[in-house]
Structure 1
């Protein structure tokens, strides 16, 4: 039982039929589910967040590090604390479309992200990868991005498995600052 939660189901309008399950409402996720912020076309002027973010300050864009061809940015909907993405500046959807320089720098910033997260937060391991295409689970399929998801022993405890809830103990701005400070040069 979560602290402060009653074992008795509450009677509320519009929450469904009372049963033995508790509900943790996360209405802020509806924007993500409904596709808010997903690009309408190829570029910042068409709403691509990955094309828009580089024009912001590091703090406002949650950018951890910038390279010549790619940048590292925190995920607004992280699986774990420190979950970031390595993103090419160029609006490109498919991995084979990257240039050799973009591919090399994407790999290098991924390595640096791992070092920074291990240094700053003591990650025990990582899930690293990219979802290519909407059917493969890409939230923003029009602009390639590689996920770097730090993992710790026990981080997939009962909350996400049973409670369908992610516990993130740090605000994104604080995480961005911590990782940027630990970023290797």
Structure 2
């Protein structure tokens, strides 16, 4: 996190000094631009197809099942924001079979139980954005978001500064959740 003094903002040509600090998050520009988003073909260009080939620590994988895995979101809304992802590269919920649907539901429940146990989440937002027009960042590979919520977790930062404040590094969150994940979801 870098807070820039107004005189430096002016030197950078960013406008008139206004005595406001700036939180810079340049790592998010790749996400905003859509860099490395997968094609509909799948394979190594798809992060959700590539992640299972990594170690759990490197891929931020919390748990692996037969048909589905749970992974931390690289761009979380809140600490503990998980994704339940089928291994099979399909874009739409109607494309997964009964066994995949069952395991996806079980992983979603296990994610909720685990995050409650580890961090005391008081509620959850759960859902899928189907297609780019519906807001899916990676529309070519189905994934379900499990976003933990707490009273007061929404403050001025996302609204005013368009910035999320996360109290824990992803590697530490992954370690805690993986250790608490039930043996059989």
TM-score by length of 1: 0.91
Structure 1 pair 20/135, CA: closer, same or farther in 2 (3 Å)? farther
For residue 135 of structure 1, give the secondary structure of its aligned residue in structure 2. helix
**Correspondence for 1:43:** 42
Contact 2:60–2:171 (CA<8 Å) still a contact in 1? yes
Residue 13 in structure 1 maps to residue 21 in structure 2: no
Deviations along 1:123-168, one digit per CA (max 9) or x if unpaired, are: 0100000000001000000000000000011000111122221001
Pairing partner for 2:121 from 117, 120, 123: 123
**Correspondence for 1:176:** 174
Contact 2:63–2:69 (CA<8 Å) still a contact in 1? yes
Deviation at 1:12, TM superposition (A): 2.8
Structure 1 pair 17/136, CA: closer, same or farther in 2 (3 Å)? farther
Deviation at 1:43, TM superposition (A): 2.1
Contact 1:9–1:22 (CA<8 Å) still a contact in 2? no
In the alignment, the residues of structure 2 paired with residue 6 and residue 25 of structure 1 have an alpha-carbon distance, to the nearest angstrom, of: 12
In the alignment, the residues of structure 2 paired with residue 42 and residue 62 of structure 1 have an alpha-carbon distance, to the nearest angstrom, of: 24
Figure out how many residues of one structure are paired with residues of the other and give that number: 181
In the alignment, the residues of structure 2 paired with residue 69 and residue 16 of structure 1 have an alpha-carbon distance, to the nearest angstrom, of: 51
Deviation at 1:9, TM superposition (A): 8.6
Residue 27 in structure 1 maps to residue 26 in structure 2: yes
**Correspondence for 1:72:** 70
**Correspondence for 2:99:** 101
Name stretches of at least 5 consecutive residues in structure 1 with no aligned partner. none
Deviation at 1:22, TM superposition (A): 4.0
- The alignment yields a C-alpha RMSD, in angstroms, of 1.8
Deviations along 1:83-140, one digit per CA (max 9) or x if unpaired, are: 0100000000000011000000000000000000000111010000000000100000
Contact 1:73–1:85 (CA<8 Å) still a contact in 2? yes
**Correspondence for 2:143:** 145
In the alignment, the residues of structure 1 paired with residue 133 and residue 39 of structure 2 have an alpha-carbon distance, to the nearest angstrom, of: 18
In the alignment, the residues of structure 2 paired with residue 22 and residue 57 of structure 1 have an alpha-carbon distance, to the nearest angstrom, of: 38
In the alignment, the residues of structure 2 paired with residue 37 and residue 82 of structure 1 have an alpha-carbon distance, to the nearest angstrom, of: 24
In the alignment, the residues of structure 2 paired with residue 142 and residue 178 of structure 1 have an alpha-carbon distance, to the nearest angstrom, of: 30
Pairing partner for 2:155 from 149, 154, 157: 157
